[in-house]
Amino acid sequence: MTKSFLMIAILFLSTLLGILIIRTIYLTAVTTKLFAESSNFSRDYYVGNPSNSPFLYVALGDSTVQGTGSANLEGTLVYQIATKNAEQGFYVHVRNFGTSGARVHDVLEKQIPPMNELRPDLITVTVGANDATHFTSYTSYERDWKAIFPTLRAPQILIANTPNMAYTPALTFPMNRIINNRAVHQNSILNSIISSENLVDLYGQGTLNYFSASHFYAADLFHPSTAGYSQWTKLFQAPSSNRFRPSF
């Protein structure tokens, strides 16, 4: 009886492991396809009426800034944010430096230098998920953010924290809990560096719960879909008081 139970348990665990491996391979292939599609989206474009006042919007960050998960450019987070500003009477020039896989250090080393040549009216930074999933040391995370923040010079600066990873369907238990704990810790560090006026709370207010709204996720079950990005766009509304870069 004991041997039979052990055999059944081993068979069950082996089957479960096989399913998880196949699932991971499939989702990785889907993510690769989505990366390739979003890499073709324009990084330099205009939104709005050319007769309106010019407005330069610079976007920094990871694959969610590149637009991975959206079916087209118009559905990306950055384009939707640009549209919101265009609706306020501006002719928005978008410069998107976001790249798939970017971590905070990549923003510092690769995206800040070309941005420094510009004089943006709005800067958004959306990065952190890859730091959580790749176990970036908290010391490095804090050091890089402290180096980034003073370089962000614009009338409006909006910085998103790491989103809630506990509800990301691509991450199975217990990895989703482990990664989410890292997201919480990263957000605590970020909160100690930037002003609340600059914070976009993706973790709390922008949680995308797959179980109540599966359409918020793209086919890879990791990145937001166009609908998910629409939910996030609502949070990228700069308060009227946010006119100057605060210091830390």
Q: How confident is the model over 201-226, as pLDDT tens digits? A: 999 999 999 989 999 999 999 999 99
- Distance (Å, whole) CA 151 – CA 25: 39
Report pLDDT digits (tens) over 142-198.
Answer: 999 999 999 999 999 999 999 999 999 999 899 999 999 999 999 999 999 999 999
- Give the type of residue at 182: R
Q: What pLDDT does residue 26 have?
A: 87
Buried/exposed 204-220: b ≥16 CB within 10 Å, e otherwise: eebbbeeeeeeebbbeb
Q: Is the peptide bond before 155 cis (omega within 30 degrees of 0)?
A: no
CATH of the domain at 123: 3.40.50.1110
Residue 37 CA from chain centroid, whole number: 17
| 245 located within any domain | no
| 116 located within any domain | yes
Of residues 114, 127, 52, the one with CA closest to residue 85: 52
Token pair of 228 as six digits: 């998910």
128-147 average pLDDT score: 98
| 58 located within any domain | yes
Would you say residue 238 has pLDDT above 60? no
Token pair of 69 as six digits: 């998960």
| 23 located within any domain | yes
- Distance (Å, whole) CA 204 – CA 211: 17
Q: What pLDDT does residue 16 have?
A: 66
Would you say residue 243 has pLDDT above 60? no
Token pair of 46 as six digits: 């205009």
Q: What pLDDT does residue 242 have?
A: 40
Helices 226-233, 77-86: crossing angle, 10 deg rounding:
50
CB of 65 closer than 8 Å to CB of 98: yes
Residue-range definition of the domain harbouring residue 138: 2-233
Would you say residue 3 has pLDDT above 90? no
Structural domains of the chain, count: 1
| 246 located within any domain | no
- Which of 23-27, 51-55, 184-188 is least confident? 23-27
Q: Is the pTM of this model over 0.75?
A: yes
Would you say residue 244 has pLDDT above 90? no
Q: What pLDDT does residue 240 have?
A: 39
Any residues with CB less than 8 A from the CB of 171 and at least 6 apart, and which?
A: 165, 179, 222
- Distance (Å, whole) CA 145 – CA 63: 18
Residue 131 CA from chain centroid, whole number: 11
| 240 located within any domain | no
Token pair of 157 as six digits: 């600066």
Report pLDDT digits (tens) over 91-127.
Answer: 999 999 999 999 999 999 999 999 988 999 999 999 9
Q: Which stretches within 39-88 are classed as H helix?
A: 63-66, 77-86
| 212 located within any domain | yes
| 238 located within any domain | no
52: left (phi over 0), alpha (psi -120 to 50) or beta: beta
10 Å CB burial of residue 6 (0-12, 13-18, 19+) is: exposed
- Which of 8-12, 25-29, 30-34 is least confident? 8-12
